């Protein structure tokens, strides 16, 4: 069992003919993900990956011809908002946006539109999704995790990889890993993922990887205290970050005394979460 993506996912790649799109499409196909189509306006009718995947001019054409039900976006930031609008209009229920550097105002418009349409967005500026042994949508390396019962949700890309590999080293598998991204305005959040993991019968434990900035971890702590029955281990990145210094993501900045690591750790611990001082401690906490 998994959340969001599995062996039945039929993936469409927006920007498949660009360098990033081409490279990561090859990785996703090699992992076993069903990549059924690509979209690059003006290149409809072409085929990529040695004639294996057809390219279309529009999302609607690709959906109608190939039955895609998830899209992943690798287009440049200036085109990303339109790419998300187009996917939503074509009836794609799940959009994963890898692109970073999208203006906040663009994302505010996108988020409002997708909410009205009932479309789920993961990202932007995120590593995507990995359901080990079933599907990889995005840029998470497929060989650093094995199938299992630990759900992982993270704002950080590289820390996600580190913790997935640490779990694998201890022979602990993952149901699904969701990289939600760290931009100030994004789609799926911690609470959304925690709710899905709580309802997933094959997810027995959860890892939450947060970072300084914003209040998403505090909101997650409230949800955990009220609704979660499954054990959770966590880690907060940026514990030594000075105020006013952005650490990694656009949303990872302490402003006006809010977004402090200590506050997030305190809230999570009050909710019963074991919070690690170092990422490599997490497998031991779950055991």
Long-range own/partner contacts, residues 162-167 (CB < 8 A, 24 or more apart): 162/279, 162/280, 163/207, 163/209, 163/235, 163/279, 163/282, 164/130, 164/140, 166/279, 166/280, 166/282, 166/283, 167/207, 167/282, 167/283, 167/286
Please confirm, yes or no, whether 249 is among the known catalytic residues.
yes
Q: Cα separation of 241 and 77, whole Å?
A: 28
Q: How far is CA 153 from the centre of its chain?
A: 8
Q: Cα separation of 118 and 72, whole Å?
A: 17
Residues 6+ apart with CB under 8 A from 75: 14, 15, 18, 21, 83, 99
Q: Which of 155, 168, 249, 264 is catalytic?
A: 249
| CA 42 vs CA 17, 45, 83, 95, 197: distances in Å | 11, 9, 14, 22, 40
| CA 284 vs CA 155, 264, 274: distances in Å | 21, 21, 11
Q: Cα separation of 284 and 166, whole Å?
A: 10
Which residues are marked as active site?
A: 249
């Amino acid at each position: 069992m998994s959340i969001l993506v599995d062996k039945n996912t039929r993936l469409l790649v927006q920007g498949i003919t660009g360098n990033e799109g081409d490279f990561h499409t090859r990785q996703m196909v090699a992992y076993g993900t069903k990549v059924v189509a690509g979209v690059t306006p003006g290149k409809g009718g072409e085929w990529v990956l040695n004639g294996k995947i057809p390219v279309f001019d529009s999302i609607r054409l690709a959906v109608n011809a190939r039955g895609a039900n998830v899209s992943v976006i690798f287009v440049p930031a200036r085109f990303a908002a339109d790419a998300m609008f187009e996917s939503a209009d074509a009836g794609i229920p799940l959009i994963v946006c890898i692109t970073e550097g999208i203006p906040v105002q663009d994302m505010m418009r996108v988020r409002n539109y997708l909410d009205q349409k009932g479309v789920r967005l993961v990202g932007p500026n995120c590593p995507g999704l990995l359901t080990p042994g079933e599907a990889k949508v995005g840029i998470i390396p497929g060989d650093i995790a094995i199938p299992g019962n630990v759900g992982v949700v993270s704002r950080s890309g590289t820390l996600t990889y580190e913790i997935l590999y640490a779990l694998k080293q201890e022979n602990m598998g993952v149901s699904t890993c969701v990289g939600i991204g760290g931009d100030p305005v994004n789609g799926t959040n911690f609470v959304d993922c925690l709710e899905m993991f709580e309802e997933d019968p094959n997810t027995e434990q959860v890892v939450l990887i947060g970072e300084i900035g914003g209040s998403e971890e505090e909101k997650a702590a409230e949800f955990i205290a009220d609704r979660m029955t499954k054990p959770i281990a966590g880690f907060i990145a940026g514990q030594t970050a000075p105020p006013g210094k952005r650490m990694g993501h656009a949303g990872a900045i302490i402003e006006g005394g809010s977004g402090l690591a200590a506050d997030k750790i305190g809230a999570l611990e009050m909710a019963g979460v074991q919070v690690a001082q170092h990422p490599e401690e997490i497998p031991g906490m779950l055991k």
